[in-house]
């Protein structure tokens, strides 16, 4: 991290987008949280509107096995696998259609952010507390295998409904949450970064490979904060995390599958399988003075948008550091999404998708882009957001 030791204040190049609420469309593997009716067991091959919501979807977070939705009034809905209580409904019944997490509404709380690991969830609520639920990984076999939990407490059993993380009660209000396989991250309004859960692959970014049962301050980000660096955006997927700092710097830590974090310093040498500290993304192919203004992270690849209207791709075992994607120079990049083996980019003229981002498409290498119009897929040109880092994808559409 020697390149991040400057002191002073830096300009934030990323602005949290303000999206209008809209209708929810999903597609992908039916059983992993598409939200479609239980009488249809086939995978959802093309985008389909979820009738539960009526123009009120504000945020969507699909994980490996289940999905969460926040509506414009702060209600939380979940659907998908629930064998470990990861839906937060107070039971372990699987639900393929959206279910209201009544805990928050019953307490008069609005959910402001949510992130999902493989089998646990973490959320920020309007009372300032951090809530978790799902897999406690506290069975004899899990302990024997050294597995950790992303719940942040010493639970003896799986947690079937949201519970406040006690060590964080009374700390500064959370700003962002992020989660991967059995680990969780909270960034609060004082720019402190709390981490807990699995750490053997560097998931916690705190310089070690230990698991942490309870939230602990990340000491590296404590030092970076003193040097004027703060996290503007953070996202975890599987066992890796990317964070955008002010001044257009992106750092990654954890497991970098197929070069997904873009931190490899020697392009053709495997040096980035595990990264135990926040490591700057390799900007070898960027233009001079080009700054990252946004990014997205999927299961095995990542995308980086710059202030020069360019998108760079890293991962999928094709490129191990970010390389530019060839797009028409007269098209303005509006939104983009990194996923599992594929990605999508929306410009002011076209909707570009790679590989099988919108199923079914002929499988190609990542350099080949399919071109379509949003109207063809969503009966509207007003796409507020789209994404999905695993095998379920979504779009919030105004139509």
pLDDT for 9:
41
Q: In sequence order, what DSSP letters do the residues of 86-143 get, joined into one string? A: TT-SSS---EEEEEE-HHHHHTT--EEEEEE-SSEEEEEETTS-EEEEE----SHHHH
pTM: 0.93
pLDDT for 365:
63
Residue range 83-88: mean pLDDT, rounded: 97
pLDDT digits (tens, 9 = 90+) for 250-269: 999 999 988 899 998 776 66
pLDDT digits (tens, 9 = 90+) for 177-213: 999 999 999 999 999 999 999 999 999 999 999 999 9
Give me the helices (H) in the chain, please: 102-106, 140-144, 219-226, 374-378
pLDDT digits (tens, 9 = 90+) for 279-323: 999 998 999 999 999 999 999 999 999 999 999 999 987 788 899
| Tokens read off for 262 | 């873009």
């Amino acid at each position: 991290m020697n390149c991040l030791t400057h002191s002073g204040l830096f300009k934030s190049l990323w602005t949290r987008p303000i999206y209008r609420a809209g209708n929810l469309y999903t597609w992908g593997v039916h059983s992993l949280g598409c939200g479609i009716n239980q009488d249809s067991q086939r995978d959802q091959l093309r985008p389909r509107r979820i009738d539960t919501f009526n123009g009120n979807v504000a945020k969507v977070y699909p994980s490996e096995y289940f999905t969460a939705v926040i509506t414009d009034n702060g209600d939380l809905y979940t659907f998908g696998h629930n064998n470990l209580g990861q839906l937060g409904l107070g039971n372990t019944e699987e639900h393929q259609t959206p279910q209201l997490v009544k805990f928050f509404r019953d307490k008069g709380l609005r959910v402001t952010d949510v992130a999902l690991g493989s089998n646990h969830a973490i959320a920020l609520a309007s009372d300032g507390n951090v809530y978790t639920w799902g897999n406690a990984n506290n069975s004899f076999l899990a302990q024997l295998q050294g597995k950790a939990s992303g719940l942040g407490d010493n639970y003896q059993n799986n947690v079937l409904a949201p519970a406040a993380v006690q060590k964080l009660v009374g700390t500064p209000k959370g700003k962002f949450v992020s989660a991967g396989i059995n680990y969780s991250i909270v960034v609060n309004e004082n720019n402190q970064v709390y981490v807990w859960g699995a750490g053997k692959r560097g998931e916690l970014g705190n310089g070690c490979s230990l698991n942490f049962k309870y939230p602990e301050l990340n000491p590296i980000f404590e030092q970076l904060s003193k040097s004027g660096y703060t996290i503007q955006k953070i996202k975890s997927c599987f066992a890796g995390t990317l964070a955008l700092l002010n001044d257009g710097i992106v750092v990654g830590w954890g497991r970098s599958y197929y070069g997904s974090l873009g931190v490899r310093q020697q392009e053709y040498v495997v040096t980035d399988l595990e990264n135990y500290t926040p490591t700057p993304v390799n900007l070898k192919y960027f233009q001079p003075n080009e700054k990252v203004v946004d990014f997205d992270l999927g299961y095995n690849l990542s995308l980086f948008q710059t202030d020069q209207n360019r998108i760079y791709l890293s991962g999928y075992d094709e490129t191990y550091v970010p390389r530019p994607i060839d797009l028409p120079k007269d098209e303005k990049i509006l939104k983009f999404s990194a996923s599992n083996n594929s990605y999508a980019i929306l410009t002011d003229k076209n909707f570009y998708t790679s590989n099988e981002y919108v199923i079914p498409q002929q499988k190609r290498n990542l350099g080949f882009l399919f071109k379509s119009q949003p109207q063809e897929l969503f009966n509207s040109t007003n796409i507020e957001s789209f994404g999905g880092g695993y095998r379920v994808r979504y779009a919030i559409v105004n139509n």
